[in-house]
Amino acid sequence: MIPISKVDVRDSEELVLEVLRSGSLAQGPMVARLESEFASAIGVRHCIAVNNGTTALVAALSLFDLDEKDEVITSPFTFVASLNAVLEAGGSVRFADINEDDFCIDADSVASRLNRRTKVVMPVHLYGQCADMQKLGQLSELAGVHIVEDAAQAHGATFRGNAAGTFGVGCFSLYATKNLTSGEGGLITTNNADYAERLRILRNQGMKERYKYEMIGHNYRLTDIHAAIAVPQISRMNEIADKRAENAAKLTRGLSAVPGLRLPRQFEERRHVWHQYTIVLTSQSPVQRDEFIAKMAEAGVSCGAYYPKLAFDYDCFRKDKRVKIEDVPVAKRISQNCVSLPVHQYLAAEELQHIIDTATSLLS
Ligand X SMILES: *Cc1c(COP(=O)(O)O)cnc(C)c1O
Contact track, ligand X, 314-343, x by CB under 6 A = ------------------------------
For residue 167, give Cα distances in angstroms to 124, 144, 162. Answer: 12, 14, 8
Count of residues that interact with ligand X, criterion CB under 6 A: 14
Is 145 an interacting residue with respect to ligand X (CB under 6 A)?
no
For residue 96, give Cα distances in angstroms to 145, 172, 249, 282, 332. Answer: 15, 21, 30, 22, 12
- CA gap 345, 245 in Å, rounded: 9
> Nearest Cα to 103, choosing from 81, 87, 79?
79
Q: What is the DSSP string of 331-347?
A: HHHHHHHEEEEP--TT-
CA torsion 18→243→150→189, rounded to 10°? 50
Is 82 an interacting residue with respect to ligand X (CB under 6 A)?
yes
Contact track, ligand X, 10-29, x by CB under 6 A = --------------------
Sheet of strand 162-163: strand arrangement:
162-163, 158-159, 270-271
Q: Which stretch binds ligand X (CB under 6 A): 145-153, 212-220, 320-328, 349-357?
A: 145-153
Is 153 an interacting residue with respect to ligand X (CB under 6 A)?
yes
CA torsion 167→168→169→170, rounded to 10°? -30
Contact track, ligand X, 88-107, x by CB under 6 A = --------------------
Contacts to ligand X from residues 179-218, by CB under 6 A: 186
Among 38, 79, 195, 277, binds ligand X (CB under 6 A): 79
- CA gap 360, 100 in Å, rounded: 22
- CA gap 170, 147 in Å, rounded: 9
| Residue 328 and residue 76 in contact, taking contact as beta carbons nearer than 8 Å | yes
Work out how close the CB of 291 gets to ligand X at its nearest, in angstroms, rounded to a whole number: 25
Work out how close the CB of 110 gets to ligand X at its nearest, in angstroms, rounded to a whole number: 17
DSSP state of 161: T
Among 48, 81, 231, 355, binds ligand X (CB under 6 A): 81
Secondary structure (3-state) at 60: helix
Is 173 an interacting residue with respect to ligand X (CB under 6 A)?
yes
Work out how close the CB of 54 gets to ligand X at its nearest, in angstroms, rounded to a whole number: 3
Is 54 an interacting residue with respect to ligand X (CB under 6 A)?
yes
Work out how close the CB of 46 gets to ligand X at its nearest, in angstroms, rounded to a whole number: 20
Work out how close the CB of 42 gets to ligand X at its nearest, in angstroms, rounded to a whole number: 17
Is 150 an interacting residue with respect to ligand X (CB under 6 A)?
yes
Is 51 an interacting residue with respect to ligand X (CB under 6 A)?
no
Closest residue to ligand X, judged by C-beta, is 53
Work out how close the CB of 124 gets to ligand X at its nearest, in angstroms, rounded to a whole number: 5
Q: Which stretch binds ligand X (CB under 6 A): 31-39, 73-81, 128-136, 283-291?
A: 73-81
- CA gap 167, 215 in Å, rounded: 26
Indicate the residue among 175 and 195 with the shorter CB distance to ligand X: 175
- CA gap 4, 17 in Å, rounded: 29
For residue 12, give Cα distances in angstroms to 7, 227, 236. Answer: 12, 10, 12
Work out how close the CB of 259 gets to ligand X at its nearest, in angstroms, rounded to a whole number: 31
| Residue 337 and residue 281 in contact, taking contact as beta carbons nearer than 8 Å | yes
Among 98, 124, 164, 363, binds ligand X (CB under 6 A): 124
Contacts to ligand X from residues 227-286, by CB under 6 A: none
Q: Which stretch binds ligand X (CB under 6 A): 18-26, 149-157, 158-166, 221-229?
A: 149-157
Q: What is the DSSP string of 213-248?
A: E-S---B-PPPHHHHHHHHHHHTTHHHHHHHHHHHH
Is 52 an interacting residue with respect to ligand X (CB under 6 A)?
yes
Indicate the residue among 27 and 173 with the shorter CB distance to ligand X: 173
Q: Which stretch binds ligand X (CB under 6 A): 21-29, 47-55, 102-110, 256-264?
A: 47-55
User: Burial of 329 by CB count in 10 Å (0-12 exposed, 13-18 middle, 19+ buried)?
Assistant: exposed
Which residues make up the interface to ligand X (CB under 6 A)?
52-54, 78-79, 81-82, 124, 150, 152-153, 173, 175, 186
